[in-house]
Amino acid sequence: MEEFEAVQYCFQSSNSSCTKEVRPTAVYAVIYISAAVVVMLTVCGNLLVIISISHFKQLHTPTNLLLPSLAVAGLLMGVTVIPFCLVVLIQTCWYFGETVCMFYNIFSFGLPPVSVNHVACIAIDRYLAECDPLLYSTRITVNINFFPLFQKSVKLIVTLKIFKPTSSLLNLFT
């Protein structure tokens, strides 16, 4: 004779809610510890790349300028997408509300193409370096002064000049 288990729903007040998969506590503990290790390795690894390339002047080459950008995209994935994705995979329910769901969807659909585009740019850069090594340094240059408005915008954001009460919109970029 078959035994029927009580069906558990993600939200007990509604029978139309998704069914919740129930596992033993020990299994949950192992899965959550593994998930935490994955998130920590992702965050720490990307932080290590960002800090090391930013710190050492020898690593400031045109190719290595793409790597911190890729690492920032990976760091954002490790902070905004992977933890929520792992919780949904483990719990089979979404408990974080509609606002977090909206941001999760924006990041989960927006960040992977950013990472893929960075990898494609790195591949193109490496292709140019391998196929035409003598002309590579003349084709690929880093000219920071090419973006003066970008520089001022970053400086403005970093110094938080925009949030000071004495700043005005007319004097932001002067």
The reported pLDDT for the residue numbered 94 is 83
How far is residue 115 from each of residues 67, 73, 119, 140, 142, measured CA to CA in Å? 10, 6, 6, 21, 21
Instruction: Identify which of 96, 72, 102 has the alpha carbon closest to the alpha carbon of residue 84.
Output: 96
- Determine the Cα–Cα distance for residues 8 and 21; give it in Å rounded to an integer: 8
- The crossing angle, in degrees rounded to 10, of helices 25-55 and 62-76 is 150
- Determine the Cα–Cα distance for residues 74 and 81; give it in Å rounded to an integer: 10
DSSP assignments along 113-172, one per residue? HHHHHHHHHHHHHHHHHHH-HHHHHHHS---GGG-HHHHHHHHHHHHTGGGSTT--GGGT
**pLDDT tens digit string along 9-45?**
666 666 666 777 788 889 989 999 999 999 999 999 9
**pLDDT tens digit string along 37-85?**
999 999 999 999 999 988 888 888 777 888 888 999 999 999 999 999 9
Query: Are residues 122 and 67 in contact, defined by beta-carbon separation less than 8 angstroms?
Result: yes
- Determine the Cα–Cα distance for residues 91 and 103; give it in Å rounded to an integer: 19
Output the average pLDDT for the chain. 79
* pLDDT over 80 (residue 8): no
For the record, the structure tokens of 147 come out as 């973006």
Q: Averaged over 78-102, what is the pLDDT?
A: 89
- Determine the Cα–Cα distance for residues 23 and 69; give it in Å rounded to an integer: 39
